[in-house]
Amino acid sequence: MRARSSVGPSIRRIANALILLAVTAAACGSGGGSAATSAPPAAGSSSGGDCAALAGLTGSVQDHGSSAVSGTSVEIDAGDFFFDPTCLTASSAGTIAVTVTNTGNALHNFTVEEQGIDQDVQVGESITVKVKLPASGALPFLCKYHVGSGMQGAFVVG
């Protein structure tokens, strides 16, 4: 008959503790999730999560960063299934020309519901629309075909 050793349970306890520690560290890490925070984005910041919260975007948002609008035009890529940049910050109201290029493999769309803008963008094609930025606050935009997959963004003024 073999004698039982108390080493087995001790090693298992240590292994379980190390696994628990690794899982806890991964869950608490600063990984690249898309969780929104409450701080407003800085001009030119690359944190779309801040913009999503400030703009009141709901549901999933595929975060591809923020960019400051300078001048009277801006370019946005419509990929599968995101806008890049996701958020565009501006310091004041005005009308800008927005060129949206479909860099993905599916038909996409650029919709600004508040302004009645609803334009399809074929694969490899571009469209240009005029968007009136508000005096302050957010103006959301989306792809009507893929908003459920997180394909939305916003202009944030102020």
Residue 81 near residue 143 (C-beta atoms within 8 A)? yes
The CA-based angle 143-35-91, given to 5 degrees, is 65
Measured distance CA(152)–CA(150) in Å, rounded: 6
The mean pLDDT of 22-36, rounded to a whole number, is: 32
Measured distance CA(9)–CA(15) in Å, rounded: 10
CA 145 to the chain's CA centroid: 17
- Pick from 5-9, 37-41, 56-60, 88-92: least confident: 37-41
pTM for the structure as a whole: 0.69
The mean pLDDT of 18-29, rounded to a whole number, is: 34
Q: Which residue has the higher pLDDT, 47 or 120?
A: 120
User: Residue 95's beta-bridge partner residues?
Assistant: 132
Measured distance CA(99)–CA(72) in Å, rounded: 11
Residue 83 near residue 141 (C-beta atoms within 8 A)? yes
Q: Which domains does the chain have, with CATH numbers?
A: 48-157 (2.60.40.420)
The percent of residues in the chain predicted with pLDDT above 90, rounded, is 60
| pLDDT higher than threshold 90 for residue 113 | yes
CB within 8 A of 38, min separation 6: which ones? Answer: 53
pLDDT of residue 8: 53
The CA dihedral of 8, 12, 13, 18, to the nearest 10 degrees, is 140
The percent of residues in the chain predicted with pLDDT above 70, rounded, is 68
